[in-house]
Amino acid sequence: MTAGGLKTRSPRLGESAPRPDGIPKVLGEFAFGNDLWADGMLWGKTLRAPHPSARIVSVDIGPALAIDGVAAVLTAADVAGKKTYGLETPDQPVFASEVVRYMGEPIAVVAADHPETARRAVAAIEVVYELTTPLVDADLAAEGTPIHPDGNVFRHLVIRHGDPTVQGEVIVEGTYEVGMQDQAFMGPESGLAIPDDDGGVELFISTQFLHVDRDQTAACLGLAPEKVRATVAGTGGAFGGREDICLQVHVCMLALHTGRPVKMLYSREESFLGHVHRHPAKLWYRHHAKRDGTLVNVEAKLVFDGGAYASTSSAVLANASCFAGGPYLIPNAFIDGWAVRTNNPPCGAMRGFGAVQTCFAHEAQMDKLAAALGMDAVELRLRNVLKTGDAILTGQVLTGAVPVEEVIRACVESPLPPKATGAMLERPGGAGRTADAHHVRRGVGFAVGFKNLMFSEGFDDYSTARVRLQDGVATVHCACAEVGQGFVTLVQQIAREVLNVDDVIVAPADTSVGSAGSTSASRQTWMSGGAVEGACRMVSEQMERNPGASYYEATFEHHHAPTEQLDENGQGNAHVSFAFVAHRAVVDVDVELGLVKVIEVATAQDVGRVLNPLQALGQIEGGIAQGVGLAVMEEMLVIDGVVRNANFTDYLIPTTLDMPNVLVASLIEQPEPGAPFGAKGIGEPPTISSTAAVAAAIRDATGAPVIRVPVRPEHLVFAADLVS
């Protein structure tokens, strides 16, 4: 309270605290990574291979160096430290030197006085390629000639659960396919590197995994980790696409080489070529059930195309396989999971991380099974839902909140939207004015999904926070990357709640404090939220013990409960916690033209506890937008290894006319044991089953099988041909 008047009380946990960076972002005043600037800085630019598969015969940088204003041209020969990097296995070269394995692979970088000079210099580098036939079919990768010394199989994971030979009275089988989705974040990759006097370098970087960026960069630079001082720069979205490094090593090499600050900023095309994507997948399933609908066995073969380098393929495949059956009790299973290497663009993390692909398939199977049984599809799901105390396909017994039945019931019981309004713009085809009212058929589809929270399989992805309280103002220092999810808001709410203060400063996220891990796996509210809570509680204790001190400070490392590796049968307690979600989609389809308008997506989600209702809604709406995008339009078109749409002209993401109304039927608040404030992560579930629900609704409207997403108009119009 200030003297002379009431000071407004700042929002605590459970309230819709406004984002501290919200208004600056709306006004265009927030400094994103692309706004970075240093006096005397140079501009970096990357030369990328235009071919998916080639031998590099020669690289002549002479013509580029001869251009006025060019300060440096660096290639693989200039990498002082480790020549390769990678989140799981260091199999990806900093620069390709002998072999090109995907279109867009970096060959060289240039630093110049102006972006245009850098562009011309890149064009002047002469590379002679000897083209080789790209390996582009994931089905042929495992048996094919290795395209990398590590071989073509990133991981082969087999889950044997119960007795996989059990046969059901009713059996349904299907093959499904998911196209390559991109994170398509708005703020392209950007970074600024400033050389330090001690031979180190300062790096400002748009990222979601700061400390691992730092470690990987230092290793490739041949520097001790502490010589690379990294700070998160304003990051315009991530969705998994910034978990791997891209320009980090390049921009630091240029700065160290020239002794000047260097900035790199990807163009939109480079952004599409420069980060990993969601794995395209081919999924074969066979479900076995009793006549009454009880699931008895699921068999599946999952082939995930990881592209040229490992990235997180192994963990993505683990998720896909562990959750391959969906949130149902299935006593027996055989899951044959493959993540393979091809000459397609590298794939890695994206919101939903492996669970999205299998959800599309297992939910299509559940609908197919319901049809074969003559049973209501929701009823079939309710009969098989997982509950606390049940085991998932890995044998892990669920000990936390498992409100699958609750999310299903809340979702299906919510009211359906009214019939179409009659406005042309609101019909399928939208602004194109293609549909008259009588061309439109409505469909309703339903899907349920789940996935793990935090990293799995024995990974200790802890987070660190330092809190200082002085003169009634709390300062929180945590390296958690704010990528738009709202951690900066939550930090303030947690500190206010625990310390009972109003003023909370969020210090820049940098490497002068311990790691916070990655902003991914729906983990930061739990992990870094827990770290901030822990540090605040230590400060509170200090205040109690020593009330008169001039300031208090504490650092807390938050670790989640340990997990295990999966054994040779894919069994083990590999995951920390799980979140469950249901979606019901309503679509209008112009059946003759195969055009779709998603009218509404209703959802109920298992959240543990809502810490900020407005931000929860933001995550749900955004996640559904990405799920709808994958269902009806978002796909990187890769033909013979060549990306055909590395731009927003042809990589389509939903516009406001494509975005359905989002109806939050219910947020199920069953506090999760072990979770700070009982809150589960909420970022990924909205994307997991929304795609599957939209696909089911399109099936309902058209009768087309919709075995592939994104569904294209020609798939609906010529559906009969696809089946035969």
Choice between 551 and 718, CB closer to another protein: 718
Choice between 87 and 697, CB closer to another protein: 697
Task: Count CB atoms within 10 A of the CB of residue 189.
Answer: 27
What's the rounded Cα separation, in Å, for the pair 479 and 599?
Answer: 40
Under the binding rule (CB under 8 A), the answer on residue 99 touching another protein is no
417, 430, 613, 674: which one contacts another protein (CB under 8 A)? 430
Pick from 445, 366, 450: nearest CA to 404: 450
Under the binding rule (CB under 8 A), the answer on residue 593 touching another protein is yes
465 strand-pairing partners: 478, 556
User: Is-cis flag, bond preceding 685, omega within 30?
Assistant: no
Six-digit token string for 546: 């020593």
| Window contacting another protein (CB under 8 A); options: 127-135, 183-191, 434-442, 477-485 | 434-442
Q: How far is the CB of 264 from another protein (least distance, A)?
A: 16
Pick from 226, 227, 185, 180: nearest CA to 208: 185
Q: Which residues have C-beta within 8 Å of that of residue 255, sequence separation ≥ 6? A: 193, 194, 195, 201, 261, 262
What's the rounded Cα separation, in Å, for the pair 630 and 77?
Answer: 40
Residue-by-residue DSSP string for 497-538:
HHH--SEEEE---BTTS-----S-TT-HHHHHHHHHHHHHHH
Under the binding rule (CB under 8 A), the answer on residue 431 touching another protein is yes
What's the rounded Cα separation, in Å, for the pair 448 and 362?
Answer: 9
Q: Are 138 and 336 in contact (CB under 8 A)?
A: no
What's the rounded Cα separation, in Å, for the pair 211 and 463?
Answer: 11
Q: How far is the CB of 33 from another protein (least distance, A)?
A: 18
Which residues ranging from 38 to 77 are in contact with another protein (CB under 8 A)?
none
Q: How far is the CB of 629 from another protein (least distance, A)?
A: 10
Q: Are 543 and 552 in contact (CB under 8 A)?
A: yes
Under the binding rule (CB under 8 A), the answer on residue 718 touching another protein is yes
| Window contacting another protein (CB under 8 A); options: 162-170, 229-237, 313-321, 642-650 | 642-650
Q: How far is the CB of 64 from another protein (least distance, A)?
A: 15
24, 432, 508, 673: which one contacts another protein (CB under 8 A)? 432
| Window contacting another protein (CB under 8 A); options: 330-338, 366-374, 619-627, 714-722 | 714-722
Q: How far is the CB of 96 from another protein (least distance, A)?
A: 21
Pick from 353, 287, 277, 290: nearest CA to 319: 353
Q: How far is the CB of 127 from another protein (least distance, A)?
A: 17
Q: How far is the CB of 54 from another protein (least distance, A)?
A: 22
Choice between 99 and 659, CB closer to another protein: 659
Which residues ranging from 612 to 641 are in contact with another protein (CB under 8 A)?
633, 637, 639
Which residues ranging from 112 to 141 are in contact with another protein (CB under 8 A)?
119
Helix axes 355-373, 690-702, angle to 10 degrees: 40
Under the binding rule (CB under 8 A), the answer on residue 155 touching another protein is no
Under the binding rule (CB under 8 A), the answer on residue 595 touching another protein is yes
Choice between 379 and 650, CB closer to another protein: 650
98, 126, 163, 714: which one contacts another protein (CB under 8 A)? 714
Q: Which residues have C-beta within 8 Å of that of residue 602, sequence separation ≥ 6? A: 411, 414, 583, 584, 585, 586, 662, 663, 664, 665
Six-digit token string for 650: 């042809």
Q: How far is the CB of 246 from another protein (least distance, A)?
A: 19
What's the rounded Cα separation, in Å, for the pair 705 and 298?
Answer: 20
| Window contacting another protein (CB under 8 A); options: 314-322, 377-385, 395-403, 594-602 | 594-602
Under the binding rule (CB under 8 A), the answer on residue 713 touching another protein is yes
Q: How far is the CB of 188 from another protein (least distance, A)?
A: 12
Choice between 153 and 593, CB closer to another protein: 593
Q: 3-state class of 38 per DSSP?
A: coil
Q: How far is the CB of 258 from another protein (least distance, A)?
A: 23
Pick from 603, 598, 580, 579: nearest CA to 414: 603
Under the binding rule (CB under 8 A), the answer on residue 434 touching another protein is yes
Q: How far is the CB of 357 from another protein (least distance, A)?
A: 21
What's the rounded Cα separation, in Å, for the pair 696 and 368?
Answer: 10
Choice between 354 and 429, CB closer to another protein: 429
9, 291, 433, 559: which one contacts another protein (CB under 8 A)? 433
Beta strand pairing call for 295-305 and 503-506: unpaired
Task: Count CB atoms within 10 A of the CB of residue 276.
Answer: 27
Interface with another protein: number of residues (CB under 8 A): 36
Which residues ranging from 250 to 269 are in contact with another protein (CB under 8 A)?
267, 269
Backbone φ, ψ for residue 715 (5° rounding): -70, -35
Under the binding rule (CB under 8 A), the answer on residue 29 touching another protein is no
Taken as a whole, the chain contains a residue count of: 724
- Letters for 643-682 (x = contact with another protein by CB under 8 A, - = none) are -xx-x-xx-x-xxxxx------------------------
Cα Rg of the chain, angstroms:
26
Q: How far is the CB of 639 from another protein (least distance, A)?
A: 7
Which residues ranging from 529 to 588 are in contact with another protein (CB under 8 A)?
none
Under the binding rule (CB under 8 A), the answer on residue 23 touching another protein is no
Q: How far is the CB of 123 from another protein (least distance, A)?
A: 8
Pick from 203, 195, 254: nearest CA to 231: 203
Which residues ranging from 463 to 502 are in contact with another protein (CB under 8 A)?
none
Task: Count CB atoms within 10 A of the CB of residue 200.
Answer: 20
Q: Are 338 and 680 in contact (CB under 8 A)?
A: no
Under the binding rule (CB under 8 A), the answer on residue 437 touching another protein is no
Q: Which residues have C-beta within 8 Å of that of residue 190, sequence separation ≥ 6? A: 32, 33, 34, 36, 205, 206, 233, 247, 263, 264, 265, 266
- Letters for 266-295 (x = contact with another protein by CB under 8 A, - = none) are -x-x--------------------------
Choice between 193 and 630, CB closer to another protein: 630
Q: How far is the CB of 714 from another protein (least distance, A)?
A: 4
- Enumerate binding residues for another protein (CB under 8 A): 119, 267, 269, 428-434, 436, 439, 592-595, 597, 633, 637, 639, 644-645, 647, 649-650, 652, 654-658, 712-714, 717-718
